[in-house]
Amino acid sequence: MGSVTDLEALLRPPAMEMPPYPPKVITLASGEEMVVRQVGREEIPTLLKAIYPLLLVERDYYDIVAARLYAELLAYKRYRVRDEYVLVGLIDGVLAGVVNGRLVDAKVGMSYHTMTIRRGLRVGSHLFAAKMEYHIEHVGQADVLIVAESPIGFRRWMIEYPLEKRYEVQHELGGVPSWVLTRKTYFDAKPRLVSGRRPVPPALLAGAATIRLPGDDVVKRQVLDEKGGGR
């Protein structure tokens, strides 16, 4: 009988070598600066606390997105999903949004979820664009498979880019089959939809080193009272 360590090694999926996402800063419509950066497993408990209050918020499908994102983040923390990454948007260190996805293989990426906490500033759109940037420009993939769970997501991803149907490929999230962002679609859309500058000024980057959370009541108020948002 093997040790727990040996058994755990069998339970963990194999991992590809993934390049880090280089942080950037985006100037929002409000004039505020949002730092977009990758998060590590040790930061996942903080994100879970932010998502938890939204599990029962039905507006704009936040409930299903929150439930699925919560599970995906927990699976990432526990090494139960293959080749996942997580990016966050932080305004003055306060969480404004979360996106995640994974690498299917060297050429194909899988978009999971985009959740906006601070609504009304196109935070979700900026973060979605950041993860497309990661797949296409930093990993060097050819295609990213995408679905939407809300009308807002459909308008923001499928129509704005615009994405191509790839209905012969079933997305891991179930529901409708996949749509796809190709390299050509990405670079055609990049001047319109991909924002940000690098490097991030040291003071801004230092301010984004620790994720701070708005209060649960603030999260719910922002989600319920503001227009716009993410998936």
Tens digit of each residue's pLDDT (9 = 90 or more) over 83-93: 999 999 999 99
Give me the architecture of the 22-225 domain, per CATH. Answer: 3-Layer(aba) Sandwich (3.40)
Residues 6+ apart with CB under 8 A from 13: 79, 80, 81, 82, 83
* Per-residue pLDDT, 226: 54
Q: What percent of the chain has pLDDT over 90?
A: 87
* Per-residue pLDDT, 1: 41
Per-residue pLDDT at 106 exceeds 90:
yes
* Per-residue pLDDT, 212: 97
* Per-residue pLDDT, 222: 75
Tens digit of each residue's pLDDT (9 = 90 or more) over 15-68: 999 999 999 999 999 999 999 999 999 999 999 999 999 999 999 999 999 999
Per-residue pLDDT at 161 exceeds 70:
yes
* Per-residue pLDDT, 3: 62
Per-residue pLDDT at 228 exceeds 50:
no
* Per-residue pLDDT, 229: 41
Length of the chain: 231
Cα–Cα nearest to 84, from 65, 100, 107, 70: 100
8 A C-beta contact, residue 145 and residue 135: no
Q: What percent of the chain has pLDDT over 70?
A: 95
Cα–Cα nearest to 194, from 148, 132, 143: 132
pLDDT higher at 228 or 118: 118
Per-residue pLDDT at 113 exceeds 70:
yes
**Domains in the chain: boundaries:** 22-225
Cα(144)–Cα(217) distance, rounded to whole angstroms?
35
* Per-residue pLDDT, 68: 98
